[in-house]
Amino acid sequence: MFEGLKNKLQGIREKFGKSIGDAAGPDVREVEKLVAIPAPQPETVLKPVLPEAPRAPVEPEKAVPVPVKIVPVESKKPEGLVSRFKSLVIERELVVSEKDIEEPLTDLEMVLLENDVALEVSDAILASMREDLVGKHRKIGTSVDEIVSTALRGALLRVLGDGFDLPAYIDSHEKPVKILVTGVNGTGKTTSIAKMAHHLMENGYSVVLGAGDTFRAGAIEQIAEHGRRLNVKVIHHQEGSDPAAVLFDTVDYAKAHGIDVVLGDTAGRFHNRKNLMNQLDKIRRVVKPDLVVYVDEAVAGNDAVVRAKDFNDLVGTDAVMLTKADMDSRGGAAISIAQTIGKPILFLGTGQAYGDIVPFRPATVVDELLGVEK
C-alpha cells in the first residue's frame, strides 16, 4: 500500500542525511568514526617481586635459594593521540541550519506534490520539518538518519491526526449508534457499508442496514443482497420513496430490537446537485445521525480531497473511509484529507472481500511509509 510514496520517502531520508552530514564537514565525520573505535586496553608488563629481606643474618652455609615471583602490572603508558582527541570532541554538538536542509526540503515538496498530497498539506509537512530540524543540536556520533526519521514521522503524524476508534465511540454512546454514509457515485459506498457491517459484527456488535439510496436503480437490491450474504436485517421501501422515511424506520427497528449500530445508505451525489444535497440535509435533520461518514476512492487523489471538503462544507462530515487503498501507490488522499477537512480517516478499503477493511491507525500507516519494521 502506497509503495510509490514509500520508496520516494526512503530516498528523501537519504538526501537529508547526506546534506546534514556534508554540512558537518569531513573532519567531523572522521571524528565520528573515531568515537566508535573501542578505547585501547592498557598494556601489561611483567615485574619481578622480591621477597622481604630476612630479619636476622643467615650463615652462608645454611642459606636456602629464594624463588622469585613474577606478577603482571599495568603500565603507565601515556594516553594516545586518538584517546585525547576523542575526549576533546565527544561532548561537542553540531547545529542543523536552514541551509543544511534547503535542498532536501525542496525535493520532499516535489515528492509530496507528485504523489497527490494537497498543497496546503505539503506546506504543513515542510513547516513541521523545518521546526523540528533547524537549530537541532546533534551530538557527534548521533545517527543523522534517526534525527531525520523522527522529524519526518512527527510531520506526517501531525497532518494525519489521531485517527478514530469506532468501537470506543460505540461503547461510550447510547444505542443504537446511527451512522449515515455519504459519498460520490461509483466510489464503492454501498459495498463499504457491507464491509463496515462485517467488521462491526466481527467485533461483537449487532447491526441493521437502512436502504436509503432510493434514487439509483438497483441500489435497494444491491444492499439487500449484501444483507442476505451477511445475515443482516435490511430495512427498505420501494424505489423512489423518501430516503428520510426509510432511515427513520431503520432507527425505530434498531431501538425495538436492541441493535447496537444503524448503518444508513444514501444515494451517491455530487456536491453541485442541489436537489440531492438538500435531500441529504433533510435526512440529517430527521435521523439525527451520530456520525456522518464520507466515502471516496483513495486512487482519486486530490479530487477525493476536494470532494470531501465540499461535502463537509455543505452537509458536514465526521469521518472518512477511502476505498481501493490497495491500488493506490501514491497515498496523497490518505495523507491530505484529515488535515484538509479536519476530520479523521475511519477505514481503508483494501480489496473486494468483506474482510478487506482496515481501521485507519495513523502511527501504523506512517511506520509503513517509513519502512519501520515491527
134-166 pLDDT, tens digit per residue, is 887 666 556 778 888 899 999 999 999 888 999
Q: Please tell me whether residues 143 and 190 are part of one structural domain.
A: no
Q: How far apart are CA 131 and CA 109, in angstroms?
A: 15
Q: Please tell me whether residues 101 and 193 are part of one structural domain.
A: no
Q: How far apart are CA 14 and CA 22, in angstroms?
A: 12
Per the domain annotation, does 248 fall within a domain? Answer: yes
Report how far apart, in Å, the C-alpha atoms of 177 and of each of 79, 182, 194, 198, 361 are. 73, 16, 16, 16, 22
Q: Give me the CATH number covering residue 194.
A: 3.40.50.300
Q: How far apart are CA 209 and CA 193, in angstroms?
A: 8
Per the domain annotation, does 369 fall within a domain? Answer: no
- State which of 159, 185, 201 marks the end of a domain: 159
Q: Residue 132 sits in which domain range?
A: 8-37+79-159
Number of domains observed in the structure of the chain: 2
Q: How far apart are CA 186 and CA 177, in angstroms?
A: 26
Q: Please tell me whether residues 32 and 149 are part of one structural domain.
A: yes
pLDDT band at 61 (very low <50, low <70, confident <90, very high): low
Q: Give percent of the chain above pLDDT 70.
A: 76
Q: Please tell me whether residues 29 and 93 are part of one structural domain.
A: yes
Q: How far apart are CA 203 and CA 198, in angstroms?
A: 9
Q: How far apart are CA 147 and CA 166, in angstroms?
A: 33
Q: Please tell me whether residues 187 and 335 are part of one structural domain.
A: yes
Q: Of 36-45, 119-128, 216-225, 295-304, which gets the smallest average pLDDT?
A: 36-45
Q: Please tell me whether residues 338 and 209 are part of one structural domain.
A: yes
Q: Please tell me whether residues 24 and 107 are part of one structural domain.
A: yes
* Structure confidence at residue 296 (pLDDT): 93
- State which of 141, 159, 177 marks the end of a domain: 159
Q: Is 340 exposed, middle or buried (0-12, 13-18, 19+ CB in 10 A)?
A: buried
pTM: 0.78
* Structure confidence at residue 59 (pLDDT): 54
Q: Give percent of the chain above pLDDT 90.
A: 51
* Structure confidence at residue 6 (pLDDT): 87
Q: Please tell me whether residues 254 and 357 are part of one structural domain.
A: yes
Residue whose C-alpha cell reads 514521522 in the numeric block: 153
Beta bridge partners of 319: 293
Give all strands of the β-sheet with 233-235 in edge-to-edge order.
Answer: 233-235, 207-210, 261-264, 177-183, 291-297, 319-323, 345-349, 357-359
Identify whether the C-beta of residue 304 lies closer than 8 Å to the C-beta of residue 318.
Answer: no
Q: Please tell me whether residues 343 and 235 are part of one structural domain.
A: yes
Q: Give me the CATH number covering residue 18.
A: 1.20.120.140
* Structure confidence at residue 91 (pLDDT): 47
Per the domain annotation, does 131 fall within a domain? Answer: yes
Q: How far apart are CA 248 and CA 64, in angstroms?
A: 116
* Structure confidence at residue 51 (pLDDT): 55
Q: Please tell me whether residues 105 and 173 are part of one structural domain.
A: no
